[in-house]
Amino acid sequence: MELNCPHAQTTNDRRRRRVEIVRALSWATTILAIVFTTPVRAEDANAGAVSQKEVQAKLAYCEVCHGVSAQGFNGYYPIPRLAGQQIAYIENELAGFVEHKRTNNIMFNVGHVLSPAMITALATNFHDLNPKPLGGAPKELVPTGQKIFQEGVPDAGVPPCASCHGPEAKGNEQFPRLAGQLYPYLVSQLTNWTNERGENNSNVMAPIAHSLTQPQIKAVAAYLNYLE
C-alpha cells in the first residue's frame, strides 16, 4: 500500500516532528510570558524615573551652550543664565519651546525629547546652582536701572519690576529670576519681546516691554546683570 512505502513514512515522520516543534515553541512562549509578566509591569511603573547618572549627563550637555554651572554664555547669540532660576519657570519655558509658543529650533529639539521627570530634575538642579554673575554691562547705567527696577516708570505706566520678580530679582515660581542674567540677553529679550516669545506667552510682560525705551531697557538690564 502507498502508506507503507518508505517515502510516505518519512514524510509522515517529518510532519509529526514539525507539529512537536510548534507545540514546544508555543509552550516556551507561554512560559516566558508568565515568567516576565511581573518584571515588565514593574518596569512600566518606573518608566518615568530618571537616574542621577542620566541627569548629570543631560546637565553636562546643557552646559555646552549655557556655560559652566549654567552661568550663561556671551557668544554671538547670548545664551541665558539658568543657574538659580525658578523651577516652575524652567518647566513652563521648556513646554513653551515644545509647543512653539517660543520660537527656537534648537530648544525645540532639546525639549521635545525630555521626559517630565527629566525636566523636573534638570530644573531642580539649575535652581540649586549659584555661580557669580558674569557681569560686563555698562556700570554707569546701574543707578538708573536700579531706580526703574525698584520704582518703575510711572509716567509710562510701567510698574516696579520688583513687584513681580522680588526685591532681589530672584523670582517667584512662574516669575523668573533676573539677578545675574546676561546683559545682552536681557536687552534682546525686552527689545524683541513679541518676536522672541509671542504675545500669548506673557500677557503681563508684553505691555511693559513695549512701554520701555531703549535707554531704559539697557539701564535695567545693566542693573540686573550685576545682581547676585
For the record, the C-alpha cell of 21 comes out as: 516543534
Same domain, 173 and 227: yes
Provide the greatest CA pair distance for the chain: 113
Say which range, 39-48, 83-92, 139-148, 178-187, has the weakest mean pLDDT: 39-48
Q: Alpha-carbon distance 178 to 228, whole Å?
A: 10
Same domain, 78 and 36: no
Same domain, 136 and 124: no
What's this model's pTM, rounded to 2 decimal places? 0.76
* More confident position, 162 or 199: 162
Percentage with pLDDT > 70 across the chain: 75
Which residue, of 45, 60, 79, is where some domain finishes? Answer: 45
Same domain, 137 and 227: yes
In DSSP notation, 114-142 reads --HHHHHHHHHHHHH--PPP---S-GGGH
Report how far apart, in Å, the C-alpha atoms of 141 and of each of 108, 149, 199 are. Answer: 35, 12, 28
Report how far apart, in Å, the C-alpha atoms of 211 and of each of 2, 116, 201 are. Answer: 101, 36, 17
Q: What is the per-residue pLDDT across 135-174, written as a single tens digit (0 to 9) for each?
A: 999 999 999 999 999 999 999 999 999 999 999 999 998 8
Q: Determine the residue type at 81.
A: R
pLDDT at position 204 is 83
* More confident position, 191 or 12: 191
Same domain, 137 and 224: yes
For the record, the C-alpha cell of 86 comes out as: 525658578
Q: Report the domain count for the chain.
A: 3
For the record, the C-alpha cell of 116 comes out as: 517630565
CB of 222 closer than 8 Å to CB of 185 = no
Q: Alpha-carbon distance 55 to 126, whole Å?
A: 11
Residue 68 CB partners (closer than 8 Å, separation 6+): 131
pLDDT at position 203 is 74
Same domain, 188 and 166: yes
- Does the pLDDT of residue 183 top 80, yes or no? yes
Same domain, 65 and 137: no
Same domain, 144 and 228: yes
Beta-strand (E) ranges in the chain? 73-74, 78-79
Q: Average the pLDDT over 113-125 and give the result.
A: 95
Same domain, 147 and 214: yes
Q: What b/e sequence results for 40-64 when a residue is b if at least 16 CB atoms lie within 10 Å of its CB, and e otherwise?
A: eeeeeeeeeebeeeebeebbeeeee
pLDDT at position 202 is 66
Same domain, 99 and 145: no
Same domain, 125 and 137: no
CB of 67 closer than 8 Å to CB of 73 = yes
**Which residue has 543657574 as its cell numbers?**
83
Query: Which residue segment(s) compose the domain that 71 sits in?
Result: 50-130
Paired residues of 79 in beta bridges:
73
For the record, the C-alpha cell of 223 comes out as: 542693573
CATH code where residue 213 lies? 1.10.760.10
